[in-house]
Amino acid sequence: MSKIIYLAVIRGAYKLVEDAENAWQHAKKRWGAVRQVGFPNTAYFLPVIYAATGLKVETLADMETVLIRSRALLPPKAGGNNPLAYLGPTLDAGLAALFAEELIEAIRYLETPHIYTQSEDPTHDTLWLGAADDVILRKRGVEFVDGSVPGFAAILGSAPDEKIAASIAADLQQRNFYSFMSASNDGRCLSEQLVSAGTQIGWSTRLVPFGPEVSATIFAIGFAVRVALSFGGVAPGDYRKLFEYCRNRVAAFVIALGDVSDEWYATAAGALNFGFPIIADTPIPEILPSIISGVRHDTIVARAADVRGVKVVVTQVPVPVAYGPAFEGERVRGEGVYLECGGGRTSMVEWVTSKPIDEVIDGFVEVIGPEITDVPAGSRLPLAIVIEVAGRQMQEDYEPILERQIHHLINYAQGVMHLGQRDIAWLRVSKAAVEKGFRLAHIGKLLHAKLHQDFGRIFDKVQVKIYTNKDDVSAVAAKAREIYAARDARIEGMTDETTDTFYSCLLCQSFAPSHVCVISPERTGLCGSYNWMDCKASFDIAPTGPNQPVPKGQTIDARLGQWKGVNEYVFKASRGKIDHYNFYSIISDPMTACGCMECISSILPMCNGVMTVNREFNDMTPCGMKFTTLAGTIGGGVTTPGFVGHSKYNITQRKYLAAEGGIKRLVWMPRSLKEEIAELFNERAEEIGIPDLLDRIADETVGTTEEEILPFLTAKNHPALSLEPLI
């Protein structure tokens, strides 16, 4: 350990702890010791402190214990002569620095609440996003689970100029890393440079501007820590397991751009506790392999990934714009739009269909109708994308799987925005993309390249036809809608009773090792991404993948939804942690959850019913908990009687909580969720003879406590009130 680094870390840590103490004293005088503190819509108090020490910081008074603990971690300012003796004290000082930064940021939220947007993207008024709330954590956590994101870079400072800043950001995006940006250098932050360069930033593009101060780096460390708490089974206070989990399961690193201050050194030392190496562009003292210095800007991302041990293959696709998953959330708006298709402005449809092998020319792409170059900027066109595939292994069941890829594969192109699917799709192409040479034909080329790359095992040839004439698009849409209806009817007509084999989904086990999701025709995956047909096709495509067949075996309890074969699989796949659960019950050993569920149901004893809340709803619910608290309670692969995670679509399936009466028990859900599922829900309500059931269900406009909603339910004669008692 370099004595230069040691002394810089100690100075920086002392400075940060002193700043935290001064901010705390000031806040306590202004607000009082009992004033509540925390990061908005998060269930982990101050997560780094909570995870490392087990201490819950809920008020300003609680901060005093943390400050005492931080002071105890600080070593003497003068070091000895043995370089090895500096390592332990340096890491301790770094941890004290992180604790201090978390206190500073919590007080910042109290003192200046509008400095951060509390949203996924910057606004016109505020660039800084602050701490990721639990909705963002779980939404983005799925990307770490399914392997589309290899890790994240915590970036401090700024590049020498905007061009270099944009280049570093694009390199990270093309390698699919998240960039968590904080701190300034020479009065500028990398985030500000990217905005000036015309680069979109925010969670949607994986370029996340946490805050302008070095203390905002704690939000990046906190993100990794909350992954460990939410999905890794790490208990608060078990710092050894915390550090081990982050070191081995969260591929993160620190990139320091510009002169490294004492506070930066201290923050970097804190990151070293979690196994996150530091790569700097300035000639600071090196400690291989943890601290690398003097790295050129054009190689800094590749060097960082190599030091962290992350092997990333940069996808090469024949398009004239940058291409990768990091651009999936990019938006094309207003004056930046060159061409718009669909989205209610024009007709747009997407359809994958199988063809005889002699009718498909592999790689053939044809635009039938006007190309981008044939229309002026700001134009709108109808659009039909028809993908024709052929091969000995190709089956009709695979068509919707390939069709679902169109959305994200098109979105991977920088400057191209795609929303929706089937016949409700929406496409925008930016002026910037057109200036770089992007054409509609490139949509066909990128779909050909990526479908071959990702799914080439199941087909031999693929050709793409793109129609932009109104009559052609209408004709394609009519044919496609017939196929869509036939597909939906197949899964709708299936039942759990008549199906001998269910399918597993183990995508989330890297975060929740004991969670095993088993998907049946009448219980879709709780994340909402997979139904039974999808899993079957996925298994056919990738037999060693996360979706494995699960023979039902002997029925143990038809009412609750429990089978011998499923129990045996769950016991094996959970490594002996879970030996059974029930598909259709919220009371009796309900299914486990990982943390990625779209909705959570909870019993409401006073109302003799059940409420459900979706992830997007941030307010209080009648069970006395917000979604984030509920998710922290039932996530991580445990069975929690009285609570169960599920998808939005599952609410409208016949087996939703069938053991307790199904949708007749549903007494409360957010208005937005009611509107979203209304069409399918009303069909199911009609089927059970209560066509106005949705109107009898309370929402937040009625109340957010059982006492508030019970009179409404009584007045509406809700069926739950006449069912047998839940408990």
Q: What is the pLDDT of residues 156-179, one digit of tens each?
A: 999 999 999 999 998 998 888 999
697 and 675 Cβ atoms separated by less than 8 Å: no
547 and 504 Cβ atoms separated by less than 8 Å: yes
- Residue 515 covered by a domain: yes
Give the confidence band of 510 by pLDDT, cuts at 50, 70, 90: low
Which among 213, 218, 222 is positioned nearest to 261, based on CA atoms?
213
Judgement on whether residues 580 and 450 belong to the same structural domain of the protein: no
Domain span at residue 643?
Answer: 501-722
Judgement on whether residues 373 and 434 belong to the same structural domain of the protein: yes
- Residue 490 covered by a domain: no
| 230, two tokens | 């939410």
Name the H helices within 382-463: 399-411, 431-435, 440-455
| Bond preceding residue 289 cis, omega within 30 of 0 | yes
Residue 466: pLDDT above 60? yes
Judgement on whether residues 561 and 618 belong to the same structural domain of the protein: yes
CB atoms within 10 A of CB 69: 16
Judgement on whether residues 352 and 291 belong to the same structural domain of the protein: no
- Residue 313 covered by a domain: no
Mean pLDDT of 378-391: 96
90 and 106 Cβ atoms separated by less than 8 Å: no
- Domain closes at, from 275, 308, 341: 308
Judgement on whether residues 148 and 247 belong to the same structural domain of the protein: yes
Range name among 98-102, 393-397, 642-646 with the lowest pLDDT average? 393-397
Residue 254: alpha-carbon gap to chain centroid: 21
Give the confidence band of 434 by pLDDT, cuts at 50, 70, 90: very high
Q: What is the pLDDT of residue 424?
A: 78
Give the confidence band of 546 by pLDDT, cuts at 50, 70, 90: confident
Give the confidence band of 548 by pLDDT, cuts at 50, 70, 90: very high
Residue 15: alpha-carbon gap to chain centroid: 35
What is the CATH classification number for the domain harbouring 406? 3.30.1650.10
Give the confidence band of 78 by pLDDT, cuts at 50, 70, 90: low
Judgement on whether residues 142 and 177 belong to the same structural domain of the protein: yes
Residue 478: pLDDT above 60? yes
Q: What is the pLDDT of residue 531?
A: 86
Mean pLDDT of 97-114: 96
Q: How many domains is the chain built from?
A: 3
Range name among 267-276, 318-327, 682-691 with the lowest pLDDT average? 318-327
What's the mean per-residue pLDDT of the chain? 91
Q: What is the pLDDT of residue 528?
A: 79
- The rounded distance, in Å, linking the Cα atoms of 214 and 54 is 24
Most confident of 153-162, 355-364, 484-493: 153-162
- Residue 324 covered by a domain: no
Which among 311, 263, 302, 308 is positioned nearest to 290, based on CA atoms?
308
Give the confidence band of 575 by pLDDT, cuts at 50, 70, 90: confident
- The rounded distance, in Å, linking the Cα atoms of 639 and 516 is 11
- Domain closes at, from 276, 308, 340: 308
Q: What is the pLDDT of residue 37?
A: 96
- Residue 611 covered by a domain: yes
Q: Distance between terminal CA atoms of the chain? A: 61
Mean pLDDT of 417-442: 92
Residue 82: pLDDT above 60? no
- Residue 727 covered by a domain: no
Read off the amino acid at residue 527: C
Judgement on whether residues 126 and 226 belong to the same structural domain of the protein: yes
Comparing 139 with 697, which gets the higher pLDDT? 697
- The rounded distance, in Å, linking the Cα atoms of 387 and 364 is 10
- The rounded distance, in Å, linking the Cα atoms of 386 and 25 is 65
Q: What is the pLDDT of residue 223?
A: 94
What is the CATH classification number for the domain harbouring 552? 3.40.1470.10
Give the confidence band of 145 by pLDDT, cuts at 50, 70, 90: low
Q: What is the pLDDT of residue 270?
A: 97
Judgement on whether residues 197 and 227 belong to the same structural domain of the protein: yes
Give the confidence band of 84 by pLDDT, cuts at 50, 70, 90: very low
- Residue 325 covered by a domain: no
What is the CATH classification number for the domain harbouring 288? 3.40.50.2030
Judgement on whether residues 226 and 87 belong to the same structural domain of the protein: yes
Q: What is the pLDDT of residue 141?
A: 67
Judgement on whether residues 34 and 133 belong to the same structural domain of the protein: yes
Q: pTM for this one?
A: 0.68
- The rounded distance, in Å, linking the Cα atoms of 473 and 370 is 12
Judgement on whether residues 431 and 551 belong to the same structural domain of the protein: no
Burial of 331 (0-12, 13-18, 19+ CB in 10 A): middle
- Residue 606 covered by a domain: yes
Q: Which residues contact 633 (CB under 8 A, 6 or more apart)?
A: 625, 640, 643
Read off the amino acid at residue 268: A
Judgement on whether residues 549 and 596 belong to the same structural domain of the protein: yes
Comparing 563 with 310, which gets the higher pLDDT? 563
Per cent of the chain over pLDDT 90 is: 69
Q: What is the pLDDT of residue 111?
A: 94
Q: What is the pLDDT of residue 182?
A: 97
- Domain closes at, from 254, 274, 308: 308
